[in-house]
Amino acid sequence: MMVPNSLRRWFVVHFVADIAFAVPLFLAPEGTLALFGWTRIDPVATRMVAAALAGIGGESLLMRNGSLDAFRAMLGLKCIWSAVAALGLAISIARGAAPIAWLLLMILVGFGAVWNFYRLRLRS
């Protein structure tokens, strides 16, 4: 079994999306989140999320030409991250999070669907 080229491209797309969010969140958490209507901001937690995004996205780019086993491992991580982050956003939305949280939830659910599709497709 081989890694589909479409999955390799998705890993690059994921890198771009993660870095696009991670850099401003890391460098200016208060200003970035305030632009999107966030009123309660914890810069430490925000930078930790940015670090997770940079780590997952960065590894996606670095291993985009990796082996089938490497992709299976990363897909496992991406499936867990997407699911738990989506659950966290859903809870936050229920408790009055800024409206932008809906967009973030949709993005996470979309990526989660992609990762789960490929994870099932690449089962051994």
User: DSSP of 29-79, one letter per residue?
Assistant: HHHHHHHTT--S--HHHHHHHHHHHHHHHHHHHHTTT--HHHHHHHHHHHH
Cα–chain-centroid distance for residue 30? 20
- Can you tell me the distance from the alpha carbon of 115 to that of 31, in angstroms, rounded to the nearest whole number? 31
- Can you tell me the distance from the alpha carbon of 81 to that of 56, in angstroms, rounded to the nearest whole number? 9
- Can you tell me the distance from the alpha carbon of 29 to that of 91, in angstroms, rounded to the nearest whole number? 21
Find, among 89, 111, 110, the residue nearest to 100 by Cα. Answer: 89
What are the extents of the domains in the chain?
Answer: 5-121
Q: What is the pLDDT along the chain (124 residues), one digit of tens a residue?
A: 899 999 999 999 999 999 999 999 999 999 999 999 888 899 999 999 999 999 999 999 999 999 999 999 999 999 999 999 999 999 999 999 999 999 999 999 999 999 999 999 998 6
Q: Model-level pTM?
A: 0.91
